[in-house]
Amino acid sequence: MIQTAAQAVGATTYPGRGIIVGKSADGRRAVMAYFIMGRSVNSRNRVFVKEPSGLRTEAFDPSKMEDPSLIIYWPVREIDDKVIVTNGDQTDTIYEYVTDGATFAEALRERTFEPDAPNFTPRVSAMATFADGDFSLDMGILRAGDAEGSCCHRVFWEYEKVEAGKGYFLHTYLKDGKPIPSFVGDPETVAVGDGSAQAIADALWAGLNADNRVSLWVMTRDLTTGESDAVIINRNM
């Protein structure tokens, strides 16, 4: 029996930043989630802010902001029939490439992991494409190929269809550590229920480690009508 999404996010104290994309058990809705965690003051000094075309991060207390380069970005952007979710400014790269007719993978081949040695945090990304009452899913990870960060391993997954009641969970780290070990292997398969966006968000938030969780976004989208419902939970609000 596979873990629920809430169990999976709580399987380690520090999965880092994570993306979950799946389909409700009744097959009627897409479910998308993104969360961020933090150990430093700078990482924890963030909130999610909803925008008409997506989601962005901003400093909760601007006076405490140190280096914004890797923590201020748009995690979610929507374009036509697509929703892009990532853990960094590669959201914009995917958005621009897709707008110009290129693919998800082509966009990410232009990027690499984050330059935060010695962790070399992976860039994790997903894009759901909606059509004909269903959706397909692209996911990818860009991670360091060695401890020195001398090369990048780019791995992509393409799911033509997501089975009802299941989702895929891709996160930056396997667990806490010094340095923090990068995620390896395929996205984890998790169970997705039939709850509302709020119920799903509440369960995921409760599952995340209380000391390290910072912000969470959950969106459900009706596959017939296209109507969506989004929920944000911020530690600092």
Prediction pTM value: 0.97
Quick check: 41 and 64 in contact, CB under 8 A? yes
| pLDDT, position 42 | 86
| pLDDT, position 68 | 85
Q: Which residues pair with 169 in a beta bridge?
A: 20, 188
- How many domains is the chain partitioned into structurally? 1
Name the residue range of residue 58's domain: 5-234
The string of pLDDT tens digits covering residues 39-73 is 988 889 999 999 999 999 999 998 888 888 888 99
The string of pLDDT tens digits covering residues 74-127 is 999 999 999 999 999 999 999 999 999 999 999 999 999 999 999 999 999 999
What is the separation of C-alpha 57 from the centre of its chain, rounded to a whole number of angstroms?
13
Q: What is the CATH number of the domain that holds 47?
A: 3.60.20.20
Long-range CB pairs of 38-46, under 8 A, 24+ apart, other chains included:
38/212, 38/214, 39/14, 39/212, 41/66, 42/66, 42/67, 42/71, 43/71, 43/214, 44/214, 44/235, 44/236, 45/236, 46/71, 46/72, 46/214, 46/215, 46/236
The string of pLDDT tens digits covering residues 153-178 is 999 999 999 999 999 999 999 999 99
Q: Which residues contact 203 (CB under 8 A, 6 or more apart)?
A: 4, 5, 6, 195
- Kindly indicate the confidence band of residue 237, based on its pLDDT and cuts at 50, 70 and 90: confident
pLDDT at 5 over 90: yes
